Every structure is written in structure tokens, then in C-alpha cells.
Chain A
């Protein structure tokens, strides 16, 4: 499922968060939005998900214009930095949520839901935690549950907002590898936001460097590392090496 962003702009009051961004993400690609905090990368991701609405421009999912559609009609899986798990529900019910709220005509039977959730719990390697509550899990475990919950509804694309931002370095590396492997297997079109270039270069097929609401450079990790970009890109990358 490809994603096409056409001249999208968004301001918060007088502050332009995203200015005239156009970008095409091909089916099966894993793309990273890399930039400093306040660069507009998260806002762009939220516009794609339908959690914010652009002031101008259009979003297309595989030719389907979703610009005016609400987030609950877009079928875009979203993983939040702070997990946003439902604290009053068990892990099982968290993952099953999207299946339970589906319209009656498309809703799976109880057994089918049980099957799907169980298999997702195995995918994220937490088969024994179905009846725990989110507060009883570690950060890394919670983030994996958040993945499973987003995947349960078979989203058309997967959007990840700083998915590893709140985790310690070791868990982060493990999860990063896990995500790369998962993408290798499923080729689900995925977009993730990060401020960590190591993360972007390791996981993504293409990296989009964003600053001041504008795209500064697009390229494969190799292309970007070769150092061709503008002054901002060179400064930004140098800062972290």
C-alpha cells in the first residue's frame, strides 16, 4: 500500500509546523522521518494517520484520497511513543480492542478473535501475559503489545511515532532488530518518526530528513551518509557522530 503526500501544510496558530511537504512512499517500504524535536515530523505522521488535519494538501493511500477521512476510517495502524495502552484492560483485551469495535458486518466471532490475539501474542513473544494489565509490564513489553494491538486490525500501513524513544538503549536495540525482521517478513508499508539517526539508518530503506516543517533531504541511508546534503543536514548529522 503506497502513501502519497501532496503539498501538505499545517500551522498551529502562527507557527508553521509543516510547510508544503510532498512525498511518495512505495508499497512495502520502511521509511524514517528523521529530525530534531519541533521539526514537524510527528505532526506530519499524525496528519497521515488522521489524528491531525492538514490546512492544505492531500493524503492518498494507494490512490484512495483519505484527506477528509477520520482516523477510524483510514485503517492506518499507529504506535505511540508512550504506548497509549488501555490501562483498565488486560493485554488480551488491549490487542482485541480493534476487533471488538469493528462494525457488526465485519466483526470476527469470539473464537476467531481468540485465535488472532493468541497468534499475535506469539508473534511479539509474550504468549503468557494475556491476562496481565499494562501496569504490570516493562516498557519494552508494553511497546510490543502496542505493536500487536495496531497489527490486530490488519492495517493498510503502519505508523510509528518515536516507537523506541522511551526505552533504554539495550531494549531499544532488541526491539529495533525485531521490527526490522518483522518488516522483512510482512513488507507492510511502514513509516516511523525518530530523532536518533543510528535508528533511522539501521532500520529504514529510505530516510527523510525534516527540519522547520520542510523536507531537507530524502535518500537511502548510504546516500545520506555519503554527506551530500545541505548545511542543515551536515550540521545535524555531525552533531551526533
Chain B
């Protein structure tokens, strides 16, 4: 999943490097060795494991596959994964737009802190992400007594799993929007404002269409991470197969029970979802890079002042 973390450099930002290759090129043997090492590393650590997953899933023939995906517990884990993603991703899309909007449009105290906090889930281990919710909402946690008095269950249930997933996947939408919105500026929004448009009209008719590819990109990343999340969810889920297991947790359960073909079958399904995400991501990257480039070109063009007529 290493390629999912590359949003620090917005899509298209390193295109310029291509032109520099010729002038600063190293001797041929250095280049070849370097490319060789990279490809070898890629094969060993990324491609091979993925191939093994699919091989493992198909090793015992389609009978096991069919059996695996008619099994109640496994199907339930697929359902749980989809439900969690279906709540966490839209929530983070809304939060992400709001955070990117606040950070790029306003200057306020705590702005730098907010920028840093957006990244926090990337820096801390997901396990900690899960643990803080146990400390807050668990039976002996901060809100625990109140919650059990009102018979509300968050930890070891769906709400906790959604919260933990939301925590871990928070940065993705915000982080893919911030560079884009910074590059685009606010002039179109200002123009809409002077034409009489209200805040919601501006968001719907101007801002969202402008950022739609960046937004789509962020949502895809967020979704991939939400479906694959293991650490944070494993802390807040009781790991009851058929009740609170998501696909990654179910894979672990099957593996620990020595049900290797089934484990590989679920793993392959999860990997397939990730690969689908990767294809969508690559497609949006092209479009996003094109738009970012276009908005840069417009800014550049208009800041060049012609020589004074006199």
C-alpha cells in the first residue's frame, strides 16, 4: 500500500523532473544498477506477495472459493467491511472538504495546529487510534459509565469500528484537496459572490466542480484504506466471527484456524478491491494533474505584466 501515501506530492508535481534527466544524468552503469535495484525490490516485496495471494486463493480449485464465499461468517465480514467503509468514507469526505476549506480559505489561530493534526493519524500507529476510543468509550473509559447507564454500546460494536476507521482514514481527503485548493485560489468564488451567489450555491456550482477530480482521488484513497484497516479496528472490535469481524480481521481468524485456502480467498478479494482502487486512482491522477497544470498556467499567465506603455 506504499503507493497510497504519495499525496504529499500532489499528482503531477514531479513531472518537471522528467526534463532534467538529460542534463544531470549519471553514468550508464549507475542508472542501470539503480533501476535494477528498484525493480528487484519491487518484485520481491510488492509483486511477489500479491501473486502469492492469488495463487494461494486458486490453489485448491474453485470449489474452495465457492465454499468460502457462501460461508455465513465470511460473507458477514464482507458486509461489515462495506458497511464500515460506507459510513466512514462519506463522513471523511465531508470532514475533509470542511478541513481543506478552512485551512486554505481562512487565516485563524490554531491553523498551523490543525494542519499538523490532519496528519496525525499517519504518524501514530493505528493501534493507538483504536486504543484512544477504548479509553474514551470503553466500559472503564471516560464516557463508559454514562454509556452503559443509557445502554449504548460503542466499543466491541459497529460504532467503535466506524470511529476507529474514520480516525485512521481522516487525512486522505483533506490532504489531496489542500494543495489543489491552494493552487486554484479563491478568485472564482469571489467572482461568484459579487454576482450574488450564496455560500451553498458557491460550494455546489463553483468549488465542487473545480475540485472534483482531486476529491474523487482522495475519496478513493480513503476508501482503500478504510476497507483494508486492521490495527485500529482490531482493538475496538471484539473479533467475533459473524458479528464484528471485517474482512482483514476475518483473514486473520481464518489464518489462525489453519484455514489457509479460505484465508487466501478473502485476502484475494480484498486485494482485488485494492487493485480496482489503484486503477481508478491512476486514472484520476492523469485528470488531476492536467487540471492542476491548467490552473497553474492561468495563474502564471495573468501575473505577467506587460511592459509599461510609456
Known: A82-B187, A82-B302, A86-B188. A49 touches B194 (CB 8 A): yes
User: Interface-forming stretch among B2-10, B133-141, B198-206, B233-241?
Assistant: B198-206
The smallest C-beta distance from A156 to any residue of chain B, in angstroms, reads 12
Q: Is the interface of B mostly helix, strand, loop or mixed?
A: helix
Nearest A-chain residue to B190, judged by Cβ? A51
Chain B: residues with Cβ within 8 Å of the partner, total of 30
Known: A71-B193, A77-B194. A101 touches B188 (CB 8 A): no
Q: Report if B309 contacts A (CB, 8 A).
A: yes
In the bound complex, how far is the Cα of B197 from the Cα of A168, in angstroms? 32
Q: Report if A149 contacts B (CB, 8 A).
A: yes
Asked whether A84 lies within 8 Å of B197 as measured between CB atoms, the reply is no
| Interface hits, B38-95 → A, CB 8 Å | none
Q: C-beta contact mask, A95-106 vs B, less than 8 Å → 1, else 0? A: 001100110000
- The residues of B that contact A102 with a CB separation of less than 8 Å are 196
Q: Report if B299 contacts A (CB, 8 A).
A: yes
| Interface hits, A104-138 → B, CB 8 Å | 135
Q: Report if B102 contacts A (CB, 8 A).
A: no
Q: Report if B305 contacts A (CB, 8 A).
A: yes
CB < 8 Å neighbour of B205 from A84, A101, A169: A101
Nearest B-chain residue to A102, judged by Cβ? B196
Q: Which of B302, B304, B309, B310 has its CB near the most chain A CB atoms (within 10 A)?
A: B302
Q: Report if B243 contacts A (CB, 8 A).
A: no
Q: C-beta contact mask, A50-90 vs B, less than 8 Å → 1, else 0? A: 11000000000000000000111111111011111111100
Asked whether A88 lies within 8 Å of B209 as measured between CB atoms, the reply is yes
Nearest B-chain residue to A162, judged by Cβ? B305
CB < 8 Å neighbour of B294 from A80, A135, A139: A135
Chain A: residues with Cβ within 8 Å of the partner, total of 44
Q: Report if B153 contacts A (CB, 8 A).
A: no
Asked whether B193 lies within 8 Å of A167 as measured between CB atoms, the reply is no
Q: Report if A205 contacts B (CB, 8 A).
A: no
CB < 8 Å neighbour of A72 from B187, B193, B309: B193
The smallest C-beta distance from A98 to any residue of chain B, in angstroms, reads 3
Asked whether B196 lies within 8 Å of A75 as measured between CB atoms, the reply is yes
In the bound complex, how far is the Cα of B196 from the Cα of A194, in angstroms? 25
Nearest A-chain residue to B195, judged by Cβ? A98
Q: Report if A223 contacts B (CB, 8 A).
A: no
- The residues of A that contact B310 with a CB separation of less than 8 Å are 197-198, 240-241
Asked whether A51 lies within 8 Å of B194 as measured between CB atoms, the reply is yes
- The residues of B that contact A88 with a CB separation of less than 8 Å are 209-210
In the bound complex, how far is the Cα of B192 from the Cα of A183, in angstroms? 24
Asked whether A101 lies within 8 Å of B196 as measured between CB atoms, the reply is yes
- The residues of B that contact A240 with a CB separation of less than 8 Å are 308, 310
| Interface hits, B281-310 → A, CB 8 Å | 294-295, 298-299, 301-310
Asked whether B301 lies within 8 Å of A196 as measured between CB atoms, the reply is no
Asked whether B192 lies within 8 Å of A97 as measured between CB atoms, the reply is yes
In the bound complex, how far is the Cα of B190 from the Cα of A56, in angstroms? 22
Q: Report if A21 contacts B (CB, 8 A).
A: no
Q: Report if A140 contacts B (CB, 8 A).
A: no
Q: Report if A31 contacts B (CB, 8 A).
A: no
Known: A51-B194, A72-B197. A82 touches B298 (CB 8 A): yes
Asked whether B309 lies within 8 Å of A198 as measured between CB atoms, the reply is yes
- The residues of A that contact B35 with a CB separation of less than 8 Å are none
Q: Report if B272 contacts A (CB, 8 A).
A: no
Asked whether A86 lies within 8 Å of B206 as measured between CB atoms, the reply is yes
- The residues of B that contact A168 with a CB separation of less than 8 Å are 306
Asked whether A101 lies within 8 Å of B201 as measured between CB atoms, the reply is yes
Q: Which of B192, B294, B299 has its CB near the most chain A CB atoms (within 10 A)?
A: B192
List the 4 shortest-distance A-B pairs measured between CB atoms, nearest first: A98-B195, A82-B302, A84-B187, A78-B194
Chain B interface residues (CB < 8 Å from chain A): 187-188, 190-198, 201, 205-206, 209-210, 294-295, 298-299, 301-310
A-B contact pairs, 21 of them (CB 8 A): A49-B194, A50-B194, A71-B190, A72-B195, A72-B196, A73-B196, A76-B194, A84-B190, A85-B188, A85-B191, A87-B188, A88-B209, A97-B195, A97-B197, A97-B205, A101-B192, A153-B196, A166-B301, A166-B305, A196-B309, A241-B310
